[in-house]
Amino acid sequence: MNYFITSNGLPIHVSDSGGAKPVVALLHGYLETHAVWDDFITSFENDFRIIRIDLPGHGLSGTAAVNTVDFSAQILHDVLQKQGIAECVVGGHSMGGYTAQAFAANYPEATRGLCLFHSTPNADTPQKQAGRDREIALIRAGKMALVIAKGITHMFAEENVRRFAEKIRELSEIADVHDPEGIIACLEGMKQRPDRNGFLASFDKPLLFIFGEKDRYISLEAAHELANRFPHVQTLWLAHSGHNGFIEEPEVVGERFRLFLQHCRQAPV
């Protein structure tokens, strides 16, 4: 079911499905909403309770002046507490992965495991910050549709764009509901996020990286560098995916994620 919870003075749109334990919190990426996970969760939602939220600045949730990833993690923690949920496995896609890392770092006692779908622990480079500033300028100029069209299409491997044309159209239409000021607040927040490499090096709970070998946001070279930096971390490589492996290769990702959830369930607290 879907409902709203007020957190830090903001309305937060929540999707709550399943009912079994452990609880899984899934966080969407930039320009998405919680609905991006709808198809992906069908294979395991009966075995786990799945909490999804529209992150601040996205979908039907409210926004702060700047939506830092730590603020969004605080929102998730507050939502879980208000639902009487003491701990969860947290997974995040891209920007949602930044928030998932912030949640695990700030609330270790509430974290059973961490899965990063096409996300990294790296802070923004000056080049990446400049790119976000260009997007902010476009949005302020009333050209958010251009940001959406380019950003969502670029999430798919080039070879998959035609095959997923209908999904790209659907995601683009959903992105039209976003408040432009909320998206700007998220771009500002991502620019400010800290480097989490040190945190991941010390993280002692189950951790899974998922990378697409044809990702146009995270190069294959950068992904391999991260995998080599954290040899203790489980890594799933997707040969036919870009930045949206849970959409581009849902069966492969779903099977691996289910195994990861079972591992988190059996891991010592």
Over residues 163-206, the pLDDT tens digits come to 999 999 999 999 999 999 999 999 999 999 999 999 999 999 99
Contacts of 42 (CB under 8 A, 6+ apart): none
Predicted pLDDT of residue 246: 98
**Domain ranges, ordered by start, for the chain:** 2-266
User: What does the pLDDT read at residue 19?
Assistant: 77
CA separation for the pair 89, 208 (Å, rounded): 11
What is the model's pLDDT at position 149? 96
Q: How many other β-carbons are positioned within 10 Å of the β-carbon of residue 268?
A: 5
pLDDT digits (tens, 9 = 90+) for 123-135: 999 999 999 999 9
Fold of 2-266: Rossmann fold (3.40.50)
Instruction: Calculate the average pLDDT of the chain.
Output: 96
Is the pLDDT at 220 greater than 80? The verdict is: yes
The pLDDT assigned to 266 comes to: 84
Hey, what amino acid is at 235?
T
Side chain identity at residue 178, one-letter code: H
pLDDT-based confidence at residue 45 (cuts at 50, 70, 90): confident
Q: Tokens 């044809």 map to which residue?
A: 214
CB within 8 Å of 261: residues ≥ 6 apart: 22, 24, 44, 47, 48, 89, 113
Give pLDDT, residue 33.
98
Q: What is this structure's pTM?
A: 0.97
Split at pLDDT 50, 70, 90, the class of 7 is: very high
20: pLDDT confidence band, cut at 50, 70 and 90? confident
pLDDT of residue 269: 64
